[in-house]
Amino acid sequence: MDKRREALQEWVARSAAGHVQSMTALAGDASFRRYFRVNLADGGSLVAMDAPPEKEDTAAFMRVQQMLQRMGVLVPYVVAENAARGFLLLADLGDRTWLEVLTPDNVDRYYARAIDTLIRIQINGRAEVSRLPDYNRDLLLREMHLFRDWYLRKRVGMQLGKQDRADLDAAFDYLAEAALAQPRVFVHRDFHSRNLIVTPGGRPGVVDFQDAVHGPLTYDLVSLLRDCYIAWPRQRVEGWALDYLGKARKAGLTGMSNDDFLRAFYTMGVQRHLKAVGIFARLRHRDGKPGYLADIPRTLAYIRQYTAECEPLAGLARVIDRSMGKAAA
């Protein structure tokens, strides 16, 4: 047993007043955090989080958890914490994610609930956003550079010429400006099927929220509907997006037309998916986690679909086409 896990187990035993029967590892995620299910003597369970302080910020997790809890969102409450050591003991919402249960027959019902939760976050989050980091131009660009550095250069081994670099810079600038032009709301930042938990009451349990920011209106919606882990027909996606828009208009979150909203939605998706592809490649080459490579083709397909329709992104489409040829070679 590694030393951090041993220290965590000892802390959990003290925090749970000696009622722990066992502690088993849960599936990992795309961060340096680890999770363990703590089985209690009375048949209940908790979840222990190990977040190394030099790599993860448990204070951010607790701060955002409190915000979402005040909004009436179903999030795991904190049972005990030791921020200095990076340990948290949390309520257990369960281990069945939406990704495991979504089907063409039930997805309308599930996404209606997710959209209602998202609208709740964006309305009630107005009172909280001043305490969130700003999703600013520097952060938007830094995320897109992950695609250039970790996917194109490291994963594919692509030598970027002068025109390639110019095409990428122009596309990244366009995408950042488009994101910054949107109405700004509380952004969860990873609102997708792997971070929504099936619960007995039907409401989604919401996890992995510690990176929340004050940013573009469509970001969380595109995370949900253009999910890197599961894809749906475009007509259905646009129907759900416009259902959201109707509710957002009633809530005073935006007055955008349908066409302007869908343009903002798809453009935001390109920014997010460039980041995701870069992260998936970095997980393989820096962190030794190859499991996300299988999600790159789906995510690239989202990007390529919209860049083919958007003239300002034609240069990005050319770079991606070249990269796909290199990847296939």
- 23 - beta bridge partners? 38
Q: Which CATH superfamily is domain 98-328 in?
A: Aminoglycoside phosphotransferase (APH), C-terminal lobe (3.90.1200.10)
Average pLDDT over residues 178-194: 98
CB contact at 8 A, 287 and 220:
no
Rounded to two decimals, the pTM is 0.94
pLDDT tens-digit map of 154-174: 999 999 999 999 999 999 999
pLDDT value of position 327 = 61
pLDDT, the chain, mean? 94
Determine which of 34-43, 95-104, 191-200 has the lowest per-residue pLDDT on average: 34-43
Q: Examine the pLDDT at 328 and tell me if it is beyond 80.
A: no
Those residues whose C-beta lies under 8 Å from the C-beta of residue 128, and which sit 6 or more positions away, are 67, 70, 71, 186
Q: Which CATH superfamily is domain 3-91 in?
A: Phosphorylase Kinase; domain 1 (3.30.200.20)
Query: Nearest-CA neighbor of 115 among 3, 17, 223, 271?
Result: 223
pLDDT value of position 95 = 85
pLDDT value of position 329 = 46
pLDDT value of position 324 = 81
pLDDT value of position 89 = 93
Average pLDDT over residues 238-264: 98
Extents of the domains making up the chain: 3-91, 98-328
Q: Examine the pLDDT at 55 and tell me if it is beyond 70.
A: yes
102: pLDDT confidence band, cut at 50, 70 and 90? very high
Average pLDDT over residues 321-325: 84
Q: Examine the pLDDT at 29 and tell me if it is beyond 80.
A: no
Query: Nearest-CA neighbor of 327 among 291, 296, 285, 284?
Result: 296
